[in-house]
Amino acid sequence: MTEQRTVTAYYSRDSLAAAAFQHPAWKQAAPIPITRKWSGEVAPNSRHAEARIVWTADALIVRFVCRQAEPLIANPDPQLDRKSIGLWERDVCEIFIAPNPKLPEHYFEFEVAPTGEWLDLGIRVTPSGRETDWEFQSGMEVAHLVESDRVLVMMSIPWSAAIPRPQAGHVWRVNLFRCVGLGRERYLAWQPTYTPEPYFHVPGVFGELEFL
């Protein structure tokens, strides 16, 4: 696993819109490097990404900034008014969030693509396999920006019964990912999962997210 196991989410008194890519709060937020493949091997520099996380009175907000030196693998006809099942098969950024650090096997999956497509799921890993709540509705909002050599995406996840507003000092369990390009080498993770085949659903390797 990478040495950095704990990252911070700083509180912002400002309410950040999902498209607030350049808000000053991001300068305070700590960068989270996504530079390794799921296997632990360092990915090419041209595929590196970073994430930053802030929280407000209303939501948890995640911004990804991704290097993009190759054609996008994207849906030519994106559907933005509903969740996109199978989004992980194309270019996408993801965060897995376990609000209860004592139950990392119960977490929520959030994805956003460079097209603005999105996905939210409830996940529970049990000894008999993975259970997925395909009908989970978080109310997340997303934004995307594609530039000549990089992709920026953001997601704003409102507090709810499933994702309760934390207090300063709380620690959740998280992992962050990027899928880019084609083939086995496309799967990048903040905390590598070290599985024989590309696979992200390993809550035992999740890092920690501390709210400040």
pLDDT for 103-122, tens place per residue?
999 999 999 999 999 999 99
**How large is the average pLDDT for residues 8-22?**
95
User: Band of the pLDDT at 3, cuts 50, 70, 90?
Assistant: low
**How large is the average pLDDT for residues 43-70?**
98
Domain ranges of the chain: 6-211
**How large is the average pLDDT for residues 66-89?**
96
Top-tier CATH class for 6-211: mainly beta
- 118, 84 in Cβ contact below 8 A? yes
**Could you give the C-alpha distances from 114 to 17, 37, 91, 201, in angstroms and in order?**
17, 20, 7, 22
Q: How far apart are CA 37 and CA 187, in angstroms?
A: 6
pLDDT above 90 as % of the chain: 98
User: Band of the pLDDT at 4, cuts 50, 70, 90?
Assistant: confident
pLDDT digits (tens, 9 = 90+) for 160-174: 999 999 999 999 999
- 180, 189 in Cβ contact below 8 A? no
- 59, 91 in Cβ contact below 8 A? no
Residue 1 has pLDDT above 80, yes or no: no
202: nearest Cα among 112, 97, 93, 105 = 105
Q: Does the model's pTM come out above 0.85?
A: yes
Residue 202 has pLDDT above 80, yes or no: yes
- 168, 210 in Cβ contact below 8 A? no
pLDDT digits (tens, 9 = 90+) for 178-192: 999 999 999 999 999
Residue 83 has pLDDT above 50, yes or no: yes
**How large is the average pLDDT for residues 140-167?**
97
Residue 152 has pLDDT above 70, yes or no: yes
- Average of per-residue pLDDT values in the chain: 96
Phi, psi at residue 10, to the nearest 5°?
-90, 145
User: Band of the pLDDT at 198, cuts 50, 70, 90?
Assistant: very high
**How large is the average pLDDT for residues 71-93?**
96
